[in-house]
Amino acid sequence: MAFEVVWPQATLNQLREIHDYIALDNSSAADRVVDSIIARTEQFRGTPFIGSRYPEAHDPRVRQTVVGRYRIFYRVYEDHQEVRILCVWHGSRRELKLPVYDE
């Protein structure tokens, strides 16, 4: 059974901001970056544990993977067959504090 990939509105907003920022210089590059990020998250449908655990989250369900210069943080809910995208973060930024979502 495939996992559902869920993008909360806050992470969709992050993705839009990433696109808009890159598009200031190169709109086709912005499209490629966002398409790559989305393609990686689509892999979670069949292989949700592909990313490494993110120990700073203190939650073993939280994982991360890298696409280009961006880190994608996500939480796997095995019992619901769901992967929730928590954050898309540029690798050069300071370490983040992940948002907390109600279960």
pLDDT tens digits for 50-98?
999 998 888 999 999 999 999 999 999 999 999 999 999 887 766 666 6
**Which of residues 34 and 58 earns the better pLDDT score?**
34
* Per-residue pLDDT, 65: 96
Range 4-90: architecture per CATH: 2-Layer Sandwich (3.30)
Domain extents in the chain: 4-90
* Per-residue pLDDT, 101: 47
Angstrom CA distances, 66 to 25, 29, 45, 79, 103, stand at 22, 17, 17, 25, 25
Residues 80 and 48 sit within 8 Å (Cβ to Cβ)? no
pLDDT of 102 strictly over 70: no
